[in-house]
Structure 1
């Protein structure tokens, strides 16, 4: 006997209303939850949980439902209200958790806890942050603090090409006395750990001379926020990439764990191209991680019998894409293993990027910082980075060329599916890709035989101040990036950022 559908309560919240609308449109098409799940390549259980408001819908999910049910975009149009409610719920949870911790720990300061203010629209958001970091990442917004302490502000970081938008809670408490550290006048902040599902940071308003500077940290105990963590193009880029990727991968952690063994058999095939439909229930960033992980496995497997020094060609053009080399745990392991095998201190490996001027011009300041940091990580592992600006090379697939042996194609960046891989050993293919590799290196803007010269030339091409970039790297290297941000996902790490900063600080 068929089960009676559970009554929904669309008047309760935006989340409930979305679920009720989804059921209405589905039943209007006379579709079951299982049939809709088949069209979306997700389980019927997921459809049921969204309809019952037991799970938050993602933008990708809403768009897919609109397409399958021919709603004219009705579900996606309502999603901003759902996202607003989700942020408000997170902020309330964080405030409650802080109040409980404050009551238990008997803090040094006598304070009154308040629920964080949430700006309902960009027009209601008044930023009182110091100038500089906002222009480094357009779309980043900081809500104004309420009039009472502790100050709770929401730092909203915008959506990227694959990185989702994320919101951080910044909380700070003023001290009666100010202390001077390295030329900064700091404000003591009351530390707290991140509440469940919400990343919470300390914030301190510092002074660099007469200029106000906002600094943030994850310090879990009472103490001074390090001046190295002041919010600028350097740190806002790291926060944006790490926090956005962290949120996206945590959402799909269980699904990714299931998918990896299911897709592993593809690595045994000479070549494969997998449609995104096979992982349609995953968000864009998780699909990106899955393609990256598979390509690294595929290349490593086929480099086992290689004796010559290969040339690597990569498709990353933006900091968001390139930062995966620093943040994805498997990519750092892949970089290190290939470096140990194919390089010596006097004979580095070669990796060629094609980054046209149009890509540079469309990248915000913070994203260009991530791109240069990723190149520094590679140079630290004895991988010489060459950057070709010729847009005619932009469509070349990612590949690894082993001279006189084979070409390993491996593309996951801007691929039609999750990935496209192949292994070629025909003489014509070897000659064609050898010409591409030689032309890419010959036309590189990163001239010079020394790593510091290549990186400085790259910085000039990206429009980054080399002295400032070196100084900020040294400051982060001295304290470690963990005080700024720590990943919760097991798939991410801060090792790459730390290694890049330490290397830059060590350059002559």
Structure 2
């Protein structure tokens, strides 16, 4: 289209982005003052062409004088994310978020490059790379692409897909072959996927390849020569979410094992300087930083727990499945929950979340399932949970509050650096924390007297089918999860996941009959 025919902003006159259906550019709609010539700057044009939002962010702020906090409000994200983007420590890869930024900032159509394609990867020795939905995978060897999150990097899982010989009871049986035997001896994480036509549709069931090499003690005769896959391991949003999180955390921690071996003992002694140094040298991946920051915060709180009274209120910053999955799979967090659980029911303590509606809408189903299970895990320890949807509390620091007396600040989720650790008795800060906790308790979207009702309301708010989720948790609770997603790293575990699944199944047992 000729430049004279392009739609233009009714306020500033610049060509409108093809992503904007309004009469004014996003910048003018939000009162952002950008001179028309700003977009013609060579640095800006190069950044737009590459969809380099970190550079765009920095240049817009230099041009307007906006602070990182003000810019973060403009684009509906955290100041810490803006900081990491500008320093090149984070890149936005989600196409929906890229489009959101394009509309907000008013990217001119003729300057923005093509949107980055979805990530696809292949490697030598494998037939091809595939990405869920699994029902598009043909039989044979593949690489299953598990996409990157905000901190978890993209992970490739080798898969071998075979037709199941039989489906008896609650198991699929696959006949063994030299190829299958070779797969079960792979030292790295890989999946064996059994396919079966059920009720006119092909369904897929996965098992950890190494587990497939084990012969169950109750196998006799011909059964001992078959690989058995529990029907509970059908690939859907629940099992996919589990595999996505475990594989992503595993890859990060195993890749950083040498550095973690050096810095984790220092974290236990509250010495974060070597960790910060490793961060500056980029020796730790974002996934490992989640573990280090979480451990440092947990240790800091536990050391001060005796001074926080019998019924403190906790404020947690997790609002996505990726962030909340740390409760399910980081072994130290399960111990932390046990040690901070209330001494008696309904003592006034609890844990508050801020999960705005836009965070729910933009989250894929498998992440919302993980978020639900993390909340269920807390409820299983008698920890009352509250969820506020008010986005004005989204940037509140993580804290533990003894009302009107003192608070411990311990933030690692979306924190600058490793974590933010402090304690305070300043009246202004205590009032801010009390206001946040009081608002969450008084206006929780999941308010109810019983854990069962709170979990039902949580599932409803997260847009999850509770009947399906309760049934699947019951199935996984019966089968266990080790044969599906056994972690390779010693710092990860499945006890939290198993506990959450059992608790959900127990709370909604009548729906599973």
TM-score, normalising length: structure 1 = 0.68
Partner residue in 2 for 1:416 = 416
| Distance in 1 separating the partners of 2:297 and 2:163 | 49
Q: Indicate yes or no: 2:106 matched with 1:117.
A: no
Distance (whole Å) between structure 2 residues aligned to residue 283 and residue 268 of structure 1: 16
Aligned residues: 375
CA deviations on 1:407-455 (whole Å, 9 max, x unpaired) are 1111111112111111001233323311221111111100211001001
Question: How far apart in 2 are the matches of 1:376 and 1:173?
Answer: 35
Offset, 1:227: 1.1
CA distance in 2 between counterparts of 1:353 and 1:365 reads 19
How far off is 1:307 after superposition? 2.9
CA gap 1:469/1:128 in 2 versus in 1, 3 angstroms: closer
Q: What pairs with 1:101-250 in structure 2 (closer than 5 Å)?
A: 116-119=126-129, 129-130=134-135, 144-145=138-139, 151-174=140-163, 177-182=165-170, 187-188=174-175, 190=180, 192-193=183-184, 195-196=186-187, 198-218=188-208, 219-221=212-214, 222-250=226-254
Q: 1:308: Cα distance to partner?
A: 2.5
The CA deviation at 1:260 is 2.1
**Counterpart position of 2:485:** 485
Change (3 A) 1:332 1:232: same
Seen in structure 2, the aligned counterparts of structure 1 residues 279 and 457 have a Cα distance that, compared at 3 Å, is: farther
Residue 111 (structure 1) aligns with:
none
2:290 maps to 288
Q: Does 1:314 align with 2:303?
A: no
SS of the residue corresponding to residue 192 of structure 2 reads: strand
Decide whether aligned partners of structure 1 residues 274 and 253 sit closer, same or farther in structure 2, where only a CA change above 3 A counts.
closer
- Secondary structure at 1:395's aligned position in 2? coil
Deviation at 1:353, TM superposition (A): 0.3
Q: Deviations over 1:120-160 (max 9, x none)?
A: xxxxx598832xxxxxxxxxxx6544xxxxx2222111111
Secondary structure of the corresponding residue to residue 323 of structure 1: helix
Q: Could you list the runs of 4 or more consecutive aligned residues of structure 1 that deviate by over 6 angstroms after TM superposition?
A: none
Distance 1:126 1:157 in 2: 7
CA distance in structure 1 between the aligned counterparts of 2:310 and 2:133, rounded to whole angstroms? 56
**Structure 1: gaps of 5 or more residues:** 1-59, 65-79, 93-115, 120-124, 131-141, 146-150
2 CA distance for matches of 1:233 and 1:206? Answer: 18
Cα distance in 2 between the residues matched to 1:229 and 1:318? 24
Hey, what's the Cα distance between the residues in 1 that align with 2:137 and 2:285? 27
Matches within 5 A, 1:12-91: 87-88=123-124
Structure 2 spans left out of the alignment, 5+ residues: 1-84, 90-116, 215-225, 509-513
Summarize the Cα distance change of 1:405–1:389 in structure 2 as closer, same or farther, 3 Å threshold.
Answer: same
Cα pair 1:313 1:437 within 8 Å, conserved: yes
Note closer, same or farther for the CA distance 1:126–1:391 as it changes in structure 2 (3 Å cut): closer
Instruction: Tell me how far apart the structure 2 counterparts of residues 247 and 156 of structure 1 sit (CA, whole Å).
Output: 13
Matched, 1:256 2:254: no
- Measured after TM superposition, the shift of residue 482 of structure 1 is 0.7
Partner in structure 1 of residue 4 of structure 2: none
Matched with 2:371 is 371
User: SS of 2:241's equivalent?
Assistant: helix
464 and 268 in structure 1: CA distance in 2 versus 1, 3 angstrom threshold: closer
Question: Does structure 1 conserve the Cα–Cα contact (< 8 Å) formed by 2:376 and 2:504?
Answer: yes
TM-score by length of 2: 0.68
> Secondary structure at the residue paired with 1:223?
strand
Distance in 2 separating the partners of 1:277 and 1:128: 36
State the alpha-carbon separation in 1 of the partners of residues 142 and 285 from structure 2: 27
Cα 1:251–1:402 shift into 2, 3 Å: same
Q: Distance in 2 between matches of 1:448 and 1:126?
A: 39
Q: Is the 8 A contact 1:143 1:154 kept in 2?
A: no
1:174-213 deviations in Å (ceiling 9; x for gaps): 46x524335x8765464643523x3111110023322211
Give SS of 1:164's match.
Answer: coil
Q: How does 1:271-420 map to 2 (within 5 A)?
A: 277-278=279-280, 280-339=282-341, 342-347=342-347, 349-420=349-420
Local SS of the residue matching 2:306: coil
- Check the 8 A contact 1:474/1:504 in 2, yes or no: yes
Tell me if structure 2 keeps the 8 A contact 1:118–1:143: no
Partner residue of 1:429?
429
Change in Cα spacing, 1:289 to 1:127, as seen in structure 2 (3 Å) is: closer
CA distance in 2 between counterparts of 1:144 and 1:173 reads 9
